[in-house]
Amino acid sequence: MKIAIVLGTRPEIIKMVSIIEEINSRGDELLLIHTGQHYDHEMSDQFFEELELPAPNYNIGVGSGSHGKQTGKMMEKIEEVLIKEHPDIVLVQGDTNAVLAGALVASKLYIPVGHVEAGLRSYDITMPEEINRKAADVCSKYYFVPTEKSAINLSIEGIPRKNIFIAGNTVVDACFRNLKIAKKRFEDNEHEKSSKLSELLQLDNILTLTMHRAENVDNKERLMNIISALTELKDLNIVFPIHPRTKKTMEEFGLYDKLANLDHMHLIKPLGYLDFLLLMSKSLIILTDSGGLQEEAITLNIPALTLRYNTERPETVTMGGNILVGANKDLIIETANKILNDTDFYNKMSLAKNPYGDGSSGKQIVDIIEKSYEKGDCILKS
């Protein structure tokens, strides 16, 4: 069978790896379509190289732009490719503009859509990602949801239960497999040991920070609140691989140099997945507004503090591994210090159970797709 995958950003690449590997190992035909939404080497190519992914069959090269422009360009090109290539199914992952574009176009061509990581809801319609994931779920046929909670979200919206498959999250596949590789590579490689990252990994009390959400980094007041908190967390070594969007707005607001000059702040460029997994695994705390990091933190048993007021990953909070601190300066400082100074509190958070499965999500998903195909379910009607 011919399986098309549409992806375009860092997290989609990482979370599609185990599915791509399953497709290739079974001899199915893979059609990989990269939208080009992320185009810097550090945001895209380095993951293809390091994770040994095949080069995309098509790179649409949409680049940056407004939501309408980006999504529109993606739709036009994805449609051309799908009409030419006739895949049996189109897979999209998560909640980016590629997911919206891919799901809309494929469903209108009567190509079944499989949404990986379906059913997540923040119920915050001001987030572009919430619109993308809801719209993609309207267009999908197969819903690969990570947890029972996401299955319930879809059932409430009227999605038939027979189309919903609880398969865990492919981020666990990526984490488990690559952390082992990352540790071995680090131990074996003398060059790595003299690198900047290796110096950082020797530090005590590391807090890994990432942020890139529009509601944090494009809003000066919120960004300043977060930065004020960081400024005061001097007992932690804050390692901040900085997303290009965040670097750009911090420079525009005149905040970048102020932060970079602090002794306990370590601003670095975005890391490859292997180095980033090592960094997370050596961290005491993960402070983030990323979706993927909330999942990876609980998978790696690291307490997470999330710089948001809601999350579409509520399981991480109810399990006890994640606390929503918003952009509230006092709450960020108080909670980070509590993790640093209160061992019982730290232990409780780090022992939270991972709700996202056992690392076999890619296999489960491709099994389901193949079975449906054998039954004659995935058929291009026109």
Task: By CB under 6 A, name the binding residues for ligand UD1.
Answer: 9-11, 37-40, 43, 64, 95-97, 128-129, 212, 244-245, 248
Residue 143 and residue 159 in contact, taking contact as beta carbons nearer than 8 Å: yes
**Contact (Cβ atoms closer than 8 angstroms) between residue 24 and residue 54:** yes
Q: Which does 210 bind (CB under 5 to 8 A by kind): ligand UDP, ligand UD1, none?
A: ligand UDP
Nearer to ligand UD1, 58 or 165 (CB): 58
Q: Does the annotation count 264 as an active-site position?
A: no
Task: Give the range of 99-107, 269-277, 317-325, 345-353 binding ligand UDP by CB under 6 A.
Answer: 269-277
CB of 247 to ligand UD1, least distance (A): 8
Shortest distance, CB of residue 40 to ligand UD1, whole angstroms? 4
Contact residues for 145 (Cβ-Cβ < 8 A; gap 6+):
117, 118, 119, 151, 154, 164, 165, 166, 167
Binding segment for ligand UDP (CB under 6 A), chosen from 6-14, 177-185, 326-334, 342-350, is 6-14
Sheet with strand 29-34: strands edge to edge:
58-59, 29-34, 2-7, 89-93, 113-116, 142-145, 164-166
22 vs 117, which CB is nearer to ligand UDP? 117
8 binds ligand UDP (CB under 6 A): no
Cα dist. 290→75, 77, 358, 372 in Å? 26, 28, 21, 33
Q: Which of 38, 115, 212, 266 is catalytic?
A: 212
Closer Cβ to ligand UD1, 85 or 218, answer by number? 218
Name the minimum Å distance from CB 10 to ligand UD1: 5
Tell me the sheet residues that pair with 266: 239
d(CA 301, CA 54): 31
Q: Between 43 and 331, whose beta carbon lies closer to ligand UD1?
A: 43
Residues 198-217 vs ligand UDP: string with x where CB under 6 A? ------------x-x-----
Would you call 187 helix, strand, or coil by DSSP? Answer: helix
Tell me which stretch binds ligand UDP (CB under 6 A): 119-127, 245-253, 290-298, 330-338: 290-298
* Residue 296 interacting with ligand UDP (CB under 6 A): yes
Which residue, 355, 362, 209, is CA-closest to 276? Answer: 209
- Do the Cβ atoms of 22 and 363 come closer than 8 Å? yes
What does each C-alpha distance from 298 to 64, 88, 285, 306, 310 come to in angstroms?
A: 31, 35, 11, 12, 17
Active site residues per annotation: 212
Contact positions vs ligand UDP (CB under 6 A): 10-11, 14, 210, 212, 241, 270-271, 273, 276, 290-293, 296
